[in-house]
Chain A
Amino acid sequence: MKRLLELKGFCYSYGNIQVVKGIDLYVDEGEIVTLIGSNGAGKTTTMQSISGLNPVSGVKGEIWFDGERIDHLKGNLIAAKGLCQVLEGRHIFSQLTVEENLMIGAYTRKDKKEIQKDIDGMYKLFPRLEERKKQDGGTLSGGEQQMLAIARALVAKPKLLLLDEPSLGLAPIIVEEIFRAIVKIREQGTTILFVEQNSNIALATAERGYVMQTGEIIMADSCENLRNNDEVKKAYLGE
């Protein structure tokens, strides 16, 4: 199997404060992998560094994507290589319509004619977006915004989709809907790495998982093994 993403001894510092302390992590093509851990563990910093959205001056170690070293590339160039992220807090363009948001998602694509077809595909995945396609993104509910954020990343046809806290601030019923969509996206062949505070749903959805604590990865295993691990049960699954 092809190694799509690999972090080797990756560290990240804000000024003098090191928040990620040398982690190793990989994602193979076709996998769905989760990164769990409590608040402040360094998950979002890791995700945004992979996407080149943090100042590169704080990066140490290596990040490889699709056979290429990307840790010193600008975020827009990384996105153009097919590594797309749904940001924590959704970050949809509030004063652009749903349709415009999706068009921007396809910004890096050259095959103009195929784009509309893929946008229609997104409307099939999330029918509620089609009903609201002429509305400004800012008028959508939290759940719809999350759907839009995911759809926006998907129309770029990414090789690897990163999702940062897709359940954040959403009602349980909406969370289930979002995760059903994530499973479907994965079945359609997109490789996924996601960060999630809701460890129950994360370990039920992914195949492999990493547990992060204060800037380090303390466990890496299949989700089945992690679910049965006493330490994980106590600290993250509330059992």
Chain B
Amino acid sequence: MLFQVIVSGFVIGCVYGLIALGYSLIYKASGLMNFAQGDVLTLGCFLGYTFYTLLGLPYWLSLIITAAIAFFFGMGEERFIIRKLQNKNVLTVYVVLATISIQYILQNSIQAIWGPNMLSYPRVFPWNNVTIFGVNIQTESVFCIIMSFILMMLLQVFMNHTKFGTAMRASALDAKAAKACGINPSFATGVTWGIAAALAATAGILLGPIYGVFIMLGQTIGRKGFAAAIMGGYGNVIGAIVGGVLLGLIETMSAAYWSSTYKDMIAYGLLLIFLYVKPTGIFNEKALNR
């Protein structure tokens, strides 16, 4: 029982982590919170469903196409909405409001295209369960956890050990200096938004076979991913992953051993206490205005 609880905690925790990574990347690059992040997960889930279930493409191919579409969606969002507003020098809250608008437009569009009913993926793997330590675990769950960790590691390597990843970090730190070094900071920021969206959409296609496909899937997860990002230290990439997994575990544990009705109350009560005790997050990001 405990092991299964831990596994499902890890599944949702990894998804929170992927979403939180997106929040952190966007925060570092644009100094914003993007409300639409969770709904890109929903979009990914539906796109994956379309390619995999409706069009019968292989799962891995559906995953790649979905991530690619989401990447361009994120880039477009930044290029045509966010940057246009930022260039007008409006207050940050206006830009954040724009992301809320994008969120609802996205939700409604998804409903308009795919309808309001809950859908489900057929099995992805030919075998239902894998046995780990004598416990049966749903194969898709194991795949979700493994894929999440692979993605997180790839992102780490890309950001820290490639020329363009380093340039993206440089642009996020100091756009003017980056430009003086020959980097196009607008392009770097756009790619950052693209990666954030691709991560969210991939989380969606990983989660679809486990949770089902429905319109509100991403909204709740999006908020929780935001919570995870802050727990880890807002803007901190490693912190986002740790915060996500931790939140997933706390939530699932509370549901299993305490009360599934009040699991959110418990998890977010803890979050409030955490915010009070350690406002800089686990990894000490600069959260205090001093």
Contacts and interface: CB of A to CB of B under 8 A. Distances in A.
Interface of A: 51-53, 74-76, 79-80, 84-85, 87, 91-96, 100, 103-105, 107-108, 152-153, 156
A79 B182 contact: yes
30 contacts: A51-B180, A53-B176, A74-B179, A75-B179, A75-B180, A76-B179, A76-B181, A76-B184, A79-B179, A79-B180, A80-B182, A85-B180, A87-B176, A87-B180, A91-B177, A92-B177, A93-B173, A95-B173, A96-B169, A96-B170, A100-B170, A103-B163, A104-B167, A104-B178, A104-B183, A107-B163, A107-B167, A108-B182, A156-B181, A156-B182
B109 interface: no
A53 B179 contact: yes
Contacts of A92: 177
B166, B169, B174, B180 interface centre (most CB from chain A within 10 Å): B180
Contacts of A52: 179
Contact of A107 (B173, B174, B181): B181
Interface of B: 163, 166-167, 169-170, 173-174, 176-185
A219 B272 CA distance: 64
A84 B181 CA distance: 7
Contacts of A153: 180
Interface of B is mostly: helix
A87 B177 contact: yes
Given A91-B174, A91-B180, 13 more contacts: A76-B182, A79-B179, A87-B177, A93-B173, A93-B177, A96-B166, A96-B170, A100-B166, A104-B170, A104-B181, A105-B181, A107-B181, A107-B182
A95 B285 CA distance: 12
Contacts of B182: 76, 79-80, 107-108, 156
Contacts of A96: 166, 169-170, 173
Contacts of A74: 179, 184
Contacts of B176: 53, 87, 91
Contacts of A104: 166-167, 170, 178, 181, 183
A85 B176 CA distance: 11
Contacts of A152: 181
A94 B177 CA distance: 11
B263 to A, nearest CB: 37
Contact of A93 (B170, B179, B184, B185): B170
Nearest to B180: A85
A107 B181 CA distance: 7
B215 to A, nearest CB: 39
A58 to B, nearest CB: 15
Nearest to A152: B181
Contacts of A79: 179-182
